[in-house]
Amino acid sequence: MTVFQTLPYREAYAQIFGRGKRFHALNVPRAQIWLQSRGLSARRLEMWGQNIADCGGAQLENLDAAPALWREIETLAQGCHGAQLSQIEAASPLIPLAQNAGWRVEEAETCPTLNFPATFDDYVRCLGKNMREQIKRYPKRLEKQFRVEYELARTPAQMEKALDDLFRLHGKRWRARGQTGVLALASRRRFHHLVCEKFLAEDWLRLWTLRCDGAAVCVLLCYFWGGKYWFFIGGFEPELMRWSVGTCLFARVFQTAIEEGAREFDFLRGVEEYKYRFGAVDRAYQNLSWFSPHPRGRLLERRVGLERAFMKRIHEKFGAS
């Protein structure tokens, strides 16, 4: 189970994107999974929040519960023309069950993940020489040039301001490239706003802002849940790129995450080079799919293939790099 299967996240998704969808909570002793079905001419089964959430998964209190949960998934899938369960961690016990049932199992997008040591100093020592020097030097260099402030949103007012700055900076960066970015969609902005409201109330929100001379120059939207940080998206001031404001803010976030007891920092989907410079390593994910052999199932299979290719290009263009 990931942060994207938590009740507040699922509730926010259903409220903003639930039109035309049916939501399914499958429960067996010691295991749960949350799915959705949609479509008129060809109905499909997928993970609750799929294509918005970066990862799918089930809550398994005991691995022995996986077969019973899988039987419930298959039963529900048989009532649809096909199923596409995306971004399931490769270590999930559902993967071999899907293979044995004849489902197609394919590689999904990897999620680079940073494993934290006990202290921030230990983390810095683990970095390559260049990054080790940069993560120490860049914040000091920035403080010599500007009045620098780091702020974690702890109140609704701080959250509102940080989100406004995130949407503005993210859009500014992509407009400079002649594009818009995924946060240009009003529905996406409403959704992230609602998720942040719910996560702030749970103390899961880690929305950080770096200001230089009072102006927001970098914002990173993270969540802290399940003993790990999840980095969803960020934005920075393109005109201050030479000051490496992203590196400065990531350094502060990493330090705070380790002090909070986080075991990992999950960068989520996308293989942007900067993630590996921070020491991340790939975590493999799989897509599980099954389609009815009937005409509507074949139609849905072609449709899903085109959608996956399109969404992959979108994420490559508008990822958090």
Does position 112 have pLDDT exceeding 80, yes or no?
yes
Considering the domain architecture, whether residues 37 and 157 belong to the same structural domain is answered as no
* 213 CB neighbour count, 10 Å cutoff: 10
Mean pLDDT, the chain, integer: 92
Considering the domain architecture, whether residues 22 and 131 belong to the same structural domain is answered as no
Considering the domain architecture, whether residues 242 and 261 belong to the same structural domain is answered as yes
> Closest Cα to residue 297, out of 44, 82, 37?
82
CA-based radius of gyration for the chain: 21
Does position 47 have pLDDT exceeding 70, yes or no?
yes
Q: What is the pTM of this model?
A: 0.90
Residue 321 pLDDT class (50, 70, 90 cuts): very low
User: Is residue 54 classed as helix, strand or coil in its secondary structure?
Assistant: coil
Overall average pLDDT of the 56-62 stretch: 93
Overall average pLDDT of the 148-167 stretch: 97
Domain count, the chain: 2
Considering the domain architecture, whether residues 81 and 161 belong to the same structural domain is answered as no
Residue 311 pLDDT class (50, 70, 90 cuts): low
Considering the domain architecture, whether residues 303 and 268 belong to the same structural domain is answered as no
Considering the domain architecture, whether residues 105 and 130 belong to the same structural domain is answered as no
Does position 137 have pLDDT exceeding 90, yes or no?
yes
Considering the domain architecture, whether residues 18 and 43 belong to the same structural domain is answered as yes
Q: What pLDDT shows up at residue 320? A: 44
CATH number, domain containing residue 170: 3.40.630.30
Q: What pLDDT shows up at residue 310? A: 75
Considering the domain architecture, whether residues 165 and 251 belong to the same structural domain is answered as yes
Could you tell me if 112 and 271 are in contact, meaning their C-beta atoms sit under 8 angstroms apart?
A: yes
Considering the domain architecture, whether residues 199 and 307 belong to the same structural domain is answered as no
pLDDT in tens, 166-188: 999 988 876 666 666 677 789 99
Report the distance separating Cα 160 and Cα 173, nearest Å. Answer: 20
Does position 40 have pLDDT exceeding 90, yes or no?
no
Overall average pLDDT of the 38-61 stretch: 92
Domain with 85, as residue range(s), is 3-110+284-318
CATH number, domain containing residue 309: 3.40.630
Considering the domain architecture, whether residues 140 and 244 belong to the same structural domain is answered as yes
Query: Residue for token digits 């996406």?
Result: 188
- What is the separation of C-alpha 315 from the centre of its chain, rounded to a whole number of angstroms? 11
Does position 207 have pLDDT exceeding 70, yes or no?
yes
pLDDT in tens, 235-276: 999 889 899 999 999 999 999 999 999 999 999 998 899 999
Considering the domain architecture, whether residues 119 and 243 belong to the same structural domain is answered as yes
Q: What pLDDT shows up at residue 315? A: 60
Which stretch of 106-120, 166-180, 203-217, 218-232 has the lowest confidence by average pLDDT? 166-180
Does position 67 have pLDDT exceeding 70, yes or no?
yes
Report the distance separating Cα 129 and Cα 149, nearest Å. Answer: 27
Overall average pLDDT of the 98-105 stretch: 96
Does position 285 have pLDDT exceeding 80, yes or no?
yes
Considering the domain architecture, whether residues 132 and 227 belong to the same structural domain is answered as yes
Could you tell me if 58 and 33 are in contact, meaning their C-beta atoms sit under 8 angstroms apart?
A: yes
**At 156, which amino acid appears?**
P
